[in-house]
Amino acid sequence: DQQVKQNSPSLSVQEGRISILNCDYTNSMFDYFLWYKKYPAEGPTFLISISSIKDKNEDGRFTVFLNKSAKHLSLHIVPSQPGDSAVYFCLFSAGGTSYGKLTFGQGTILTVHP
Amino acid sequence: EAGVAQSPRYKIIEKRQSVAFWCNPISGHATLYWYQQILGQGPKLLIQFQNNGVVDDSQLPKDRFSAERLKGVDSTLKIQPAKLEDSAVYLCASSRTGRLNEKLFFGSGTQLSVL
Protein backbone atom coordinates (compact mmCIF):
# COMPACT_ATOMS: atom_id res chain seq x y z
CA ASP A 1 0.00 0.00 0.00
CA GLN A 2 1.98 2.95 -1.31
CA GLN A 3 0.68 6.00 0.51
CA VAL A 4 3.21 8.42 -0.95
CA LYS A 5 4.55 8.77 -4.45
CA GLN A 6 7.32 10.99 -5.78
CA ASN A 7 6.58 10.62 -9.46
CA SER A 8 9.87 11.87 -10.85
CA PRO A 9 12.93 9.80 -9.91
CA SER A 10 15.12 12.56 -11.36
CA LEU A 11 14.96 16.18 -12.47
CA SER A 12 17.50 18.24 -14.41
CA VAL A 13 17.39 22.05 -14.30
CA GLN A 14 19.56 24.90 -15.54
CA GLU A 15 21.13 27.19 -12.96
CA GLY A 16 18.93 30.22 -12.25
CA ARG A 17 15.73 28.48 -13.33
CA ILE A 18 12.96 27.14 -11.12
CA SER A 19 13.05 23.56 -9.80
CA ILE A 20 9.69 22.00 -8.98
CA LEU A 21 9.56 18.74 -7.08
CA ASN A 22 6.27 16.95 -6.50
CA CYS A 23 4.73 14.37 -4.20
CA ASP A 24 1.26 12.85 -4.23
CA TYR A 25 -0.30 11.07 -1.29
CA THR A 26 -3.40 9.07 -0.55
CA ASN A 27 -3.62 9.05 3.25
CA SER A 28 -5.99 11.83 4.30
CA MET A 29 -4.72 11.50 7.88
CA PHE A 30 -1.39 13.16 6.98
CA ASP A 31 -1.34 16.55 8.69
CA TYR A 32 2.31 17.61 8.71
CA PHE A 33 4.58 17.66 5.69
CA LEU A 34 8.33 18.08 5.37
CA TRP A 35 11.06 18.18 2.76
CA TYR A 36 14.54 16.85 3.44
CA LYS A 37 17.51 16.83 1.11
CA LYS A 38 20.37 14.38 1.02
CA TYR A 39 23.87 14.78 -0.38
CA PRO A 40 25.91 11.65 -1.25
CA ALA A 41 27.49 9.95 1.77
CA GLU A 42 25.54 12.19 4.16
CA GLY A 43 22.32 11.78 6.08
CA PRO A 44 19.15 13.67 5.06
CA THR A 45 18.91 17.23 6.37
CA PHE A 46 15.81 19.31 7.08
CA LEU A 47 14.81 21.81 4.41
CA ILE A 48 11.29 23.13 5.03
CA SER A 49 7.96 22.01 6.48
CA ILE A 50 4.28 22.89 6.41
CA SER A 51 1.28 21.96 8.51
CA SER A 52 -2.11 21.06 7.10
CA ILE A 53 -3.63 24.36 8.22
CA LYS A 54 -1.48 26.22 5.67
CA ASP A 55 -1.17 25.99 1.91
CA LYS A 56 2.19 27.72 1.51
CA ASN A 57 5.39 28.24 3.44
CA GLU A 58 8.48 30.12 2.31
CA ASP A 59 12.06 30.10 3.47
CA GLY A 60 14.40 32.06 1.23
CA ARG A 61 14.66 30.36 -2.15
CA PHE A 62 12.51 27.45 -1.01
CA THR A 63 8.70 27.41 -1.03
CA VAL A 64 6.50 24.46 -0.12
CA PHE A 65 2.94 24.28 -1.43
CA LEU A 66 0.22 22.03 -0.08
CA ASN A 67 -2.96 21.27 -2.00
CA LYS A 68 -5.04 19.22 0.44
CA SER A 69 -7.97 18.64 -1.90
CA ALA A 70 -5.66 17.21 -4.55
CA LYS A 71 -3.43 15.54 -1.92
CA HIS A 72 -0.42 17.11 -3.57
CA LEU A 73 2.75 18.54 -2.07
CA SER A 74 5.36 20.46 -4.02
CA LEU A 75 8.67 22.18 -3.43
CA HIS A 76 9.79 25.15 -5.52
CA ILE A 77 13.41 26.26 -5.58
CA VAL A 78 13.97 29.68 -7.15
CA PRO A 79 16.56 30.37 -8.39
CA SER A 80 18.16 26.95 -8.55
CA GLN A 81 21.88 26.73 -7.80
CA PRO A 82 24.39 23.94 -8.53
CA GLY A 83 24.74 23.39 -4.76
CA ASP A 84 21.08 22.37 -4.69
CA SER A 85 21.97 19.19 -6.57
CA ALA A 86 20.93 16.42 -4.15
CA VAL A 87 18.24 13.84 -3.49
CA TYR A 88 15.02 15.39 -2.17
CA PHE A 89 12.57 13.45 -0.01
CA CYS A 90 9.03 14.43 0.92
CA LEU A 91 7.98 13.25 4.37
CA PHE A 92 4.49 12.89 5.76
CA SER A 93 3.28 12.63 9.36
CA ALA A 94 -0.15 11.38 10.34
CA GLY A 95 -2.18 12.48 13.32
CA GLY A 96 0.59 12.68 15.85
CA THR A 97 2.95 15.19 17.33
CA SER A 98 6.09 13.11 16.96
CA TYR A 99 8.32 11.97 14.12
CA GLY A 100 7.80 8.28 14.74
CA LYS A 101 5.09 7.76 12.13
CA LEU A 102 6.85 9.52 9.28
CA THR A 103 6.29 8.16 5.79
CA PHE A 104 9.01 8.98 3.27
CA GLY A 105 8.65 9.43 -0.46
CA GLN A 106 10.99 7.52 -2.76
CA GLY A 107 13.21 10.52 -3.43
CA THR A 108 13.92 12.72 -6.48
CA ILE A 109 17.46 13.28 -7.70
CA LEU A 110 17.81 16.96 -8.61
CA THR A 111 20.70 18.02 -10.82
CA VAL A 112 21.27 21.74 -11.37
CA HIS A 113 23.59 22.45 -14.30
CA PRO A 114 25.80 25.57 -14.30
CA GLU B 1 27.46 21.02 17.71
CA ALA B 2 28.43 17.43 16.87
CA GLY B 3 25.99 15.57 14.66
CA VAL B 4 24.60 12.05 14.84
CA ALA B 5 27.51 9.61 14.65
CA GLN B 6 27.17 6.19 13.07
CA SER B 7 29.62 3.35 12.56
CA PRO B 8 30.74 1.47 10.63
CA ARG B 9 30.29 3.42 7.41
CA TYR B 10 30.21 0.27 5.27
CA LYS B 11 29.78 -3.39 6.06
CA ILE B 12 29.88 -6.43 3.78
CA ILE B 13 28.81 -9.80 5.15
CA GLU B 14 27.58 -13.12 3.88
CA LYS B 15 24.01 -14.26 4.41
CA ARG B 16 23.33 -15.95 7.74
CA GLN B 17 26.13 -13.96 9.40
CA SER B 18 25.48 -11.45 12.18
CA VAL B 19 26.13 -7.72 12.09
CA ALA B 20 25.80 -4.79 14.48
CA PHE B 21 25.55 -1.07 13.88
CA TRP B 22 26.23 1.69 16.37
CA CYS B 23 24.67 5.14 16.73
CA ASN B 24 25.55 8.03 19.02
CA PRO B 25 22.84 10.72 18.83
CA ILE B 26 23.29 14.43 19.41
CA SER B 27 23.96 15.15 23.08
CA GLY B 28 20.77 15.75 25.02
CA HIS B 29 18.49 14.23 22.40
CA ALA B 30 15.97 11.96 24.09
CA THR B 31 14.46 10.47 20.94
CA LEU B 32 16.40 8.09 18.71
CA TYR B 33 15.24 6.34 15.54
CA TRP B 34 16.59 3.61 13.30
CA TYR B 35 15.50 3.68 9.65
CA GLN B 36 16.14 1.19 6.84
CA GLN B 37 16.54 2.58 3.32
CA ILE B 38 16.50 0.03 0.55
CA LEU B 39 17.89 1.21 -2.79
CA GLY B 40 15.30 3.24 -4.72
CA GLN B 41 12.96 3.60 -1.75
CA GLY B 42 12.46 6.11 1.02
CA PRO B 43 13.66 5.33 4.54
CA LYS B 44 11.36 3.12 6.61
CA LEU B 45 11.17 3.37 10.39
CA LEU B 46 12.39 0.26 12.20
CA ILE B 47 12.31 1.39 15.82
CA GLN B 48 11.90 4.52 17.91
CA PHE B 49 13.33 5.04 21.40
CA GLN B 50 12.41 7.68 23.94
CA ASN B 51 15.38 7.74 26.32
CA ASN B 52 15.97 4.01 26.92
CA GLY B 53 12.39 2.90 26.31
CA VAL B 54 10.92 1.59 23.05
CA VAL B 55 8.09 3.76 21.69
CA ASP B 56 7.44 1.99 18.41
CA ASP B 57 8.96 -1.20 16.99
CA SER B 58 5.97 -2.31 14.93
CA GLN B 59 8.00 -2.51 11.71
CA LEU B 60 11.06 -4.21 13.19
CA PRO B 61 11.45 -7.84 12.00
CA LYS B 62 11.89 -9.14 15.51
CA ASP B 63 12.81 -12.66 14.46
CA ARG B 64 16.17 -11.36 13.25
CA PHE B 65 16.51 -7.70 14.21
CA SER B 66 17.12 -6.34 17.70
CA ALA B 67 17.98 -2.91 19.03
CA GLU B 68 18.84 -1.50 22.39
CA ARG B 69 19.58 1.83 24.01
CA LEU B 70 20.55 0.77 27.49
CA LYS B 71 21.66 4.06 29.03
CA GLY B 72 19.38 6.27 26.98
CA VAL B 73 22.28 7.63 24.95
CA ASP B 74 23.91 5.54 22.22
CA SER B 75 22.19 2.63 20.54
CA THR B 76 23.02 -0.57 18.70
CA LEU B 77 21.02 -2.32 15.98
CA LYS B 78 21.77 -5.99 15.36
CA ILE B 79 20.78 -8.38 12.59
CA GLN B 80 21.13 -12.09 13.29
CA PRO B 81 21.10 -13.91 10.92
CA ALA B 82 21.26 -11.58 7.92
CA LYS B 83 19.36 -12.21 4.70
CA LEU B 84 20.05 -10.92 1.20
CA GLU B 85 17.05 -8.57 1.44
CA ASP B 86 18.61 -6.82 4.43
CA SER B 87 21.03 -5.08 2.06
CA ALA B 88 20.26 -1.40 2.65
CA VAL B 89 21.47 1.79 4.26
CA TYR B 90 20.66 1.91 7.97
CA LEU B 91 20.11 5.45 9.15
CA CYS B 92 20.05 6.64 12.73
CA ALA B 93 18.28 9.87 13.60
CA SER B 94 17.66 11.86 16.76
CA SER B 95 15.62 14.78 17.98
CA ARG B 96 15.50 16.62 21.27
CA THR B 97 12.09 15.42 22.39
CA GLY B 98 10.61 13.87 19.23
CA ARG B 99 8.04 16.58 18.64
CA LEU B 100 7.40 17.72 15.06
CA ASN B 101 8.27 21.37 15.74
CA GLU B 102 11.89 20.32 16.34
CA LYS B 103 14.32 19.25 13.67
CA LEU B 104 15.10 15.61 13.08
CA PHE B 105 18.84 15.05 12.57
CA PHE B 106 20.19 12.07 10.63
CA GLY B 107 23.55 10.35 10.71
CA SER B 108 25.42 9.45 7.51
CA GLY B 109 24.21 5.88 7.71
CA THR B 110 25.75 2.41 7.52
CA GLN B 111 25.63 0.78 4.10
CA LEU B 112 25.15 -2.97 4.49
CA SER B 113 25.72 -5.42 1.68
CA VAL B 114 24.67 -9.02 2.28
CA LEU B 115 26.19 -11.46 -0.24
Domain ranges of chain B: 5-110
The rounded distance, in Å, linking the Cα atoms of A10 and B38 is 17
Output the pLDDT for position A1: 55
**CA atoms of A62 and A66, how far apart (whole Å):** 13
> A51-62, pLDDT tens digit by residue?
999 999 999 999
Q: Which residues of chain B form beta strands (DSSP E)?
A: 5-7, 10-13, 19-24, 31-37, 44-50, 53-56, 65-68, 75-79, 88-95, 105-106, 110-114
Contact B109 A46 (CB under 8 A): no
B5-110 CATH fold:
Immunoglobulin-like (2.60.40)
Percent pLDDT > 70 in chain B is 99
Residues in A touching B93 (Cβ below 8 Å): 43, 99
Is the Cβ of B95 closer than 8 Å to some Cβ of chain A?
yes
Interface A-B: count of C-beta contacts within 8 A: 63
B93-115 mean pLDDT: 92
Q: How many helices (H) and strands (E) does chain B have?
A: 0, 11
The CATH class for the domain spanning A4-113 reads mainly beta
* pLDDT tens-digit series, residues B3-57: 999 999 999 999 999 999 999 999 999 999 999 999 988 899 999 999 989 999 9
Shortest distance between the Cα of B38 and any Cα of chain A, in A, equals 10
